[in-house]
Amino acid sequence: MQIFIAEHAGFCEGVERAYQIALKQIQAGRPVFMLGNLVHNSQVVEKFKKLGIKTVRDLSEIPAGSKGTLLISAHGVPPEIYAKARQLGLETIDTTCPWVKKAQKIAKDLAAKGVLVIIVGDKGHPEVKGVVGWSQGKAAVVEDLEELKPLCKSFDKKVGILAQTTQAEEKFNEIVSGLKQKAKNVVEYNTICGATSKRQRAAVDLARKVDLMLVIGDTMSANTKRLTELCEKTGAETRQIQTAKELEQKWIQGKEKIGITAGASTPEWVIEEVLKKIKA
């Protein structure tokens, strides 16, 4: 049996940066609050909790006068979060991924000019909610071509379309093409993260050469979900797992070539545990 790991897998630069910043803040000795999940990986979040970071779903859960540090996740947040943090007297440490920052700025600038902003992405994802916030709440979020139909009445003016940073290139291009057939003045902004594109291409290339493709990553991770979908499209047997505990022996029995990839928020130690279990 041969095991192959995709050329690009595991922590991307943005997640690694957020992870290291969080560790540094823990060492500073002040109370550290994490709004939501710093990255979409349960193992990483659990590690931070054990180290003393307090996770909150809303800033109202933080007592006034706490004089602590608020960690903004790699997914980013709407602008009002920064204002609320200042009111609470919190120091804000922003770990928003630079690619997400780029999307936020584009949405903000387009909305300020009165341009219709369309985001191709998952409606419930924190990153998308944040980008919508930077558009003053005016951006429309679409997940497929069908969702363009209700917007047709606004297509007589200029339209700016951008992507959630972890979207699949194929889906984004499909929706952009469909939009250009309906609207006369479309400006396209491909805000898909470069690391995401490389990771997706590497996973697909590997999936075409193996008998089984294992995608390691949390179920709440959008980019991991995308990797699984893309590998499945190649026709390869594909299994998504969060940890080595979920790996079933029957999946690998009789397989000569096993491919492994991992989402951008999957830490190296989780990948290593899966490798060890396969070899065992």
Of 3.40.50.300, 3.40.1010.20, 3.40.640.10, 3.40.50.2000, the CATH number of 99-192 is 3.40.1010.20
CA-CA distance, 116 to 104, in Å (whole number)?
15
Q: Give the chain's largest Cα–Cα span.
A: 61
Q: Residue 21: its pLDDT value, please?
A: 87
Domains 2-10+195-279 and 99-192 share a fold: yes
Catalytically active residues, by annotation: 127
pLDDT tens, per residue, the chain with 280 residues: 899 999 999 888 888 888 888 888 888 777 889 888 877 888 888 888 888 888 888 888 887 777 788 999 889 999 999 999 988 888 899 999 999 999 999 999 999 999 999 999 999 899 999 999 999 999 999 999 999 998 888 888 899 999 999 898 899 999 999 999 999 899 999 999 888 889 999 999 999 999 999 999 998 888 899 999 999 999 999 999 999 999 999 999 999 999 999 998 899 999 999 999 998 8
Which CATH number is 2-10+195-279 given?
Answer: 3.40.1010.20
Structural domain spans, the chain: 2-10+195-279, 13-97, 99-192
Which CATH number is 13-97 given?
Answer: 3.40.50.11270
CA-CA distance, 258 to 217, in Å (whole number)?
17
Contacts of 276 (CB under 8 A, 6+ apart): 244
Contact yes or no for 129/107 (Cβ under 8 A): no
